[in-house]
Amino acid sequence: EVPLLESGGGLVQPGGSLSLSCAASGFTFSSYAMNWVRQAPGKGLEWVSGITGSGGGTYYADSVKGRFTISRDNSKNTLFVQMNSLRAEDTAVYFCAKTVSGDFYAPFDYWGRGTLVTVSS
């Protein structure tokens, strides 16, 4: 198993901010691209953002570009996403997911259990 443990979810008002973390263990964290994927209640999967192993390349869905910032701390084996200007439509379970290789353009072989973000007044 490759544990990925998300944290930081919760209830936030529209327009507010929240930061999620994903602690990784069991693999050489810096060697793999990482991603955030979300799932609104009862809905499908939506890829949100990804980052290369070095952190030098970041990618975003149009729906979050300019509001979310992905980052990683390879010394602490941790992935982050800073979410600003949150909207009701950002309400979802947020999963972190590891790619099968160091390449960003690769599928996701391990996923965390997810953390729920609820944006509501």
Partner 1 sequence: DIQMTQSPSSLSASVGDRVTITCRASRGISNSLAWYQQKPGKAPKLLLYVASRLESGVPSRFSGSGSGTDYTLTISSLQPEDFATYFCQQYYSSPHTFGGGTKVEIK
Give me the residues that bind partner 1 (CB under 8 A), please: 35, 37, 44-47, 50, 59-62, 95, 100, 104-109, 111-114
CB of 95 to partner 1, least distance (A): 6
Report the nearest approach of partner 1 to the CB of residue 121 (Å).
27
Answer for the pair 119, 88: CB distance below 8 angstroms, yes or no: yes
Task: Please give the full DSSP string across 69-84, using - where no structure is assigned.
Answer: EEEEETTTTEEEEEE-
Cβ distance to partner 1 smaller for residue 13 or 44: 44
Cβ distance to partner 1 smaller for residue 16 or 57: 57
Q: What's the min distance (Å) between Cβ of 13 and partner 1?
A: 27
Contact 40, 48 (CB under 8 A): no
Decide: 64 and 37 in contact? Cβ < 8 Å: no
